[in-house]
Structure 1
Amino acid sequence: MPGLLPSHLEQDVTPEDDGDLRVLSLTEDDAEQLLDALSSDTSRAILASLEERPAAVSELAESVSTSLQNVRHHIDNLEEAGLVEEAGTRYSVKGRQMTVYAPTQDSLVVVASDSLTE
């Protein structure tokens, strides 16, 4: 059964191959914000699409079959939760500058607890 977060299990990936593993310890408010951002099928689809390649809002809207406004809403939530970030800009065919988004980290472990124990 697939999990909430998209993953790529086609090959073994070690921290040396793909960057450092980031462990995120969350307060109750942070955990709520993260879980709220990931509770939507659309948010998870957007995050999965961004894992394939960075994209602008218009590209994401087409990729996940939803409106620009809906993608902007979910991108804002994912950005506030620290899961996506602005990765650059590109220009549309009409010459408009578009912000390109990408996932913030390749590997993320989330610990929702008041304290970390060893």
Structure 2
Amino acid sequence: MSGLLPSDGDVDVGGEGSPRVHLFDDEETEELIGSLSCATAREILSSLHESPATAAELADSVDTSIQNVRHHLGNLEDAELVQLAGTRYSEKGREMKVYAPTDDPFVVCVGGVDDDGAREGIVDAIESFLE
């Protein structure tokens, strides 16, 4: 029997974006590396690359609590590795957020890049490589 509310809503998983280049000593890089330092966070991100999912679905797929998944999703969102892609409704009619990876490639550079001009050169080189 089908419910009144759709259980499988369309989600926007976006397209491949421009590569992000991070210098090793940037605050952004610290947040990025910190968000991926836990195996559970990496499992969540890997699972999202297979298919967009809700926190409850992720908790089942990585065998952890919903609270733990929400914690890691928050960190991954802050690091711009995960995005809110839409909503679904549970069998009980509750609206649930659906998450997906951002799919923006990123590169972390260690040393040798001190100014914005050098950063732009690296971004251009990486973009030409990915085309």
Structure 1 length-normalised TM: 0.75
Residue 25 in 1 paired to residue 25 in 2? no
Shift of 1:106: 5.1
Describe the shift of the 1:92–1:59 C-alpha distance in structure 2 as closer, same or farther (beyond 3 A): same
Q: Deviations over 1:31-90 (max 9, x none)?
A: 111110000000000000000000000000000000000000000000000000000000
Name the amino acid aligned to 1:43.
A
Number of corresponding residues? 101
Describe the shift of the 1:76–1:70 C-alpha distance in structure 2 as closer, same or farther (beyond 3 A): same
Give ranges in structure 1 of 5+ residues lacking alignment.
Answer: 1-17
Structure 2 counterpart of 1:45, from 43, 46, 52: 43
Larger strand percent: 1
Q: Which runs of 4+ in 1 moved over 6 A?
A: none
> Matched residues in 1 for 2:48 and 2:98: separation?
10
Give ranges in structure 2 of 5+ residues lacking alignment.
Answer: 1-14, 122-131
Q: Are the counterparts in 2 of residues 85 and 104 from structure 1 also a CA contact under 8 Å?
A: yes
Tell me what 2:56 maps to.
Answer: 58
Q: Are the counterparts in 2 of residues 28 and 112 from structure 1 also a CA contact under 8 Å?
A: no
Q: CA RMSD in A?
A: 2.0
Structure showing greater Rg:
2
Q: Are the counterparts in 1 of residues 22 and 106 from structure 2 also a CA contact under 8 Å?
A: no
Structure 2 length-normalised TM: 0.68
Identity %: 50
